[in-house]
Chain A
């Protein structure tokens, strides 16, 4: 069953700690994305990757880092430099649905990060 998985579902971080959020997809999509969503707000792009070993900063990349060593995986690290990291983090990938047609963007279930 194809899809996007994110782990963990909930994550608690102490101030000063780095944490890594996992995102895996088995849809054979090339492009992957990380967004942040705050209550009552839209999605803000953190980083995106169009291909393995390549990624670009989005609108709010400061305090975050990513890697794309495998097509299936696009982990996001929230560093201690991110001053207000409490948010809902969404990973997405872009590609044709069921391998056919136009490229659409699909989301994983999300990780809710809380800083204690």
Chain B
């Protein structure tokens, strides 16, 4: 069983701060890593994907991957109230087409 672990939170940060979301995974051969944002009552929306070690930046979002430590994180700079949502981490192994999801971290940005 491939496991993806996230701290369920809730995580609260003040507006303008950096929010840091973490995810660990058990399968060492995982290749692709994804962060989804899910607003209450809505479907998940892909916000970041990362495939190699290091940092990947897209606007206010930075994904960080460390395959040796089996760790992927998402940083949200200058957090806004509109960032308040649940963030899902997903992992896809080298083989097969399945994706494995964590249970999500709830983020609240306080104005």
Give A contacts to B, CB under 8 Å: 31, 33, 40-43, 45, 48, 50, 58, 90, 94, 102-110
Contacts and interface: CB of A to CB of B under 8 A. Distances in A.
Secondary structure call for the A interface? strand
Contacts of A90: 43-44
B34 to A, nearest CB: 7
Contact of B49 (A31, A102, A107, A109): A102
A41, A42, A50, A106, most chain B CB atoms within 10 A: A42
Contact of A107 (B44, B97, B98): B44
A41 B86 CA distance: 11
Contacts of A45: 98-99
B1 to A, nearest CB: 9
Contact of B43 (A41, A94, A110): A110
A108 B99 CA distance: 16
A76 to B, nearest CB: 15
Nearest to A51: B97
Given A31-B97, A45-B98, A50-B97, A109 B88 contact: no
B42, B88, B101, B103, most chain A CB atoms within 10 A: B101
Q: Which 9 A-B pairs have CB atoms at the shortest separation, nearest pair first?
A: A42-B103, A107-B43, A43-B101, A110-B43, A42-B101, A31-B97, A107-B44, A109-B43, A50-B97
Contact of B46 (A33, A43, A50, A106): A106
Contacts of A109: 42-43
28 contacts: A33-B99, A40-B103, A42-B101, A42-B102, A42-B103, A42-B104, A43-B44, A43-B88, A45-B98, A45-B99, A48-B97, A48-B98, A90-B43, A94-B97, A94-B99, A103-B32, A104-B34, A104-B46, A104-B49, A105-B34, A105-B90, A107-B36, A107-B44, A107-B45, A107-B46, A108-B43, A109-B43, A110-B43
